[in-house]
Chains A and B, each alone.
Chain A
């Protein structure tokens, strides 16, 4: 397999005396979908936030394309080609869909003092990207606050897909989606992966994870139980691992080879 785009070694993150991450290692390669599974409070969101420049790890090493990297802000990570759909979506209800879509990376036209936000181009892109995801917007200057939860989630995903040049991180992107939109998102993940982008997919739903995942990592109470390749592990085993079930010891064997 190819070299990892992003490699996280022994990441720890403490919030005061709360240890959210106690040494997590993870990597993502081009053209694969790496699923991160775990119960609520396991530290999944905290972990991906160290990848996307929101949190600085307390300790541990991040290698981006083989070189040590320290993202100072989400903007840094974005500029490196990492796009994230955060669990809270990072959308602003009072702003239009277009303004949200391009927030922080507005296309411009003109030069110097007259360099301005190319609203028309932005509107066109937003409409067409949303259409690709199966949502027909009434108008691109509709406020995000008027959208349903699922539509909002779709805007956030469409935005990340559009800007995710190398790595696309999705933190529970399907939680508010209906059946059709969910299969749409899963199909999008498959499509993005084919373009050679690495996808980090966080989910609660083992079925969703199994349908698109190439590798699976389970996080439990800030620790990882290791990574399994597709075919090496069954849905039931993943489910048990997520729950931190009794079969843990038994499962260690099946994971052993890939830890």
Chain B
């Protein structure tokens, strides 16, 4: 077979070397960015940042953003935006807290109910976008305000006039699902690791890192699942196709509407998952939850290689993009640098990433 293949080879065809193929991966920029940021903090930050507890410190906000960013990235690859995910965190948080406190539901009911309501709102977003043909940017901008407003109104209704709904700790204290969505996982393992001296301990013998914060596990799980779906399943191919060219995808037999609506629902569910984790963690909810997180999530997705025009990007890129975020936001506290530089960093990163992505896109499509 090889002989035949060789004779049939076109003399002008040359195989891309490995580095050139790597250059075409969407997550390349995010990985390069993460290396840069790591080097920067290795040089400037207190070494405590790169201990196990320092790692958990920056991975926790990274994971919380990442849960949103992975949803945002999937939706962006599918060619749409959702600017309402930040407000959705507040809205879903309210629904979830009200179900627990006002209606006394157990987590096993409240969690699926919250996810279903979020998914329904996502589906409404999607339906409006598809039926009106308006840009999702505008439709979800409207929902950014609608959901934020509903959260405020609903909160007052649920609390009888307050802006904070409390009492969640009491409501879920003995619920068997609580450890899945809050606190630290694998405490026994970490206690053992502390015992044998792998994990540092406090004076009283308790491990300095009591376990892995559950949001980190959810984040990793979500990134792995999203990557699997994108790269290894037919649905993944449909997501790239609808984002690349809706018309071509539809003409090729891709169920465009279903794919897009499912993506809006998935993104909303990511926001709801974050709301559940945050509300359980804080023991309360308020209407400012998730404020402006939609922008951070989209920026993380863009740093991760998602094109603003859709059809290209990766979940693993958004994963690294979120870690970059966590490293910078927490890393600055380990340095002498004024933390307010964070916003400057944010804007600069976004700009660099967009420019970089354009170069990559040209490389991939061979545009000249």
Contacts and interface: CB of A to CB of B under 8 A. Distances in A.
Interface of A: 52, 54, 73-75, 78, 84, 86, 88-95, 99, 102-106, 108, 115-117, 119, 131, 136, 138-139, 143, 145-146
Contacts of B236: 117
A54 B241 CA distance: 17
Given A74-B253, A106-B234, A138-B14, 7 more contacts: A92-B248, A94-B361, A99-B237, A99-B240, A117-B236, A145-B366, A145-B367
B18 interface: no
Given A94-B312, A116-B233, A138-B13, A88 B248 contact: yes
Contacts of B247: 88, 90
A115 to B, nearest CB: 7
B234 A93 contact: no
A131 B312 CA distance: 28
B241 A103 contact: yes
B228 to A, nearest CB: 8
Most A Cβ at <10 Å: residue of B241, B253, B364: B253
A145 B364 contact: yes
Contact of A131 (B8, B250, B253): B8
B319 interface: no
A90 B15 CA distance: 27
Contacts of B13: 136, 138
B244 interface: yes
Contacts of A88: 247-248
B241 A104 contact: yes
B77 to A, nearest CB: 10
Can you list the 3 inter-chain pairs with the closest CB atoms, starting with the nearest? A145-B365, A104-B253, A146-B366
B254 A103 contact: yes
B311 to A, nearest CB: 5
B253 A143 contact: no
B252 A103 contact: yes
Nearest to A79: B253
A7 to B, nearest CB: 23
Given A95-B241, A139-B16, A145-B367, A86 B251 contact: yes
A104 B254 contact: yes
Nearest to A135: B10
A99 B312 CA distance: 13
B240 A94 contact: yes
B172 interface: no
B255 interface: yes
B237 A74 contact: no
B130 interface: no
B344 interface: no
B233 A117 contact: yes
Contacts of A116: 228, 232-233
Contacts of A90: 245, 247-249, 251-252
A75 B255 contact: yes
B196 interface: no
A138 B241 contact: no
A158 to B, nearest CB: 14
Contacts of B366: 143, 145-146
Given A105-B253, A117-B234, A95 B367 contact: no
Contacts of B43: none
A104 B245 CA distance: 13
Contacts of A119: 232
Contacts of B8: 131, 136
A136 B228 CA distance: 30
Contact of A143 (B237, B252, B255, B364): B364
Contacts of B14: 138
A108 B244 contact: no
Contacts of B58: none
A86 B249 CA distance: 12
A91 B244 CA distance: 9
Interface in B197-252: 228, 232-234, 236-238, 240-241, 244-245, 247-252
Most A Cβ at <10 Å: residue of B16, B241, B244, B251: B251
Contacts of A104: 238, 241, 249, 252-254
Contacts of B249: 90, 92, 103-104
B355 interface: no
A195 to B, nearest CB: 22
B9 interface: yes
A73 B251 CA distance: 8
Contacts of B9: 136
Contact of A146 (B10, B240, B311, B365): B365
Contacts of B238: 103-104
B251 A54 contact: yes
Nearest to B256: A73
A170 to B, nearest CB: 14
A92 B245 contact: yes
Most A Cβ at <10 Å: residue of B16, B250, B255: B250
24 contacts: A52-B251, A73-B255, A74-B251, A88-B247, A90-B247, A90-B251, A91-B248, A92-B241, A93-B244, A94-B307, A94-B361, A95-B244, A95-B311, A103-B241, A103-B248, A104-B252, A104-B253, A116-B228, A117-B233, A117-B236, A119-B232, A136-B13, A145-B366, A146-B366
Contacts of B255: 73, 75
Contacts of B307: 94
Contacts of B251: 52, 54, 74, 84, 86, 90
B364 to A, nearest CB: 5
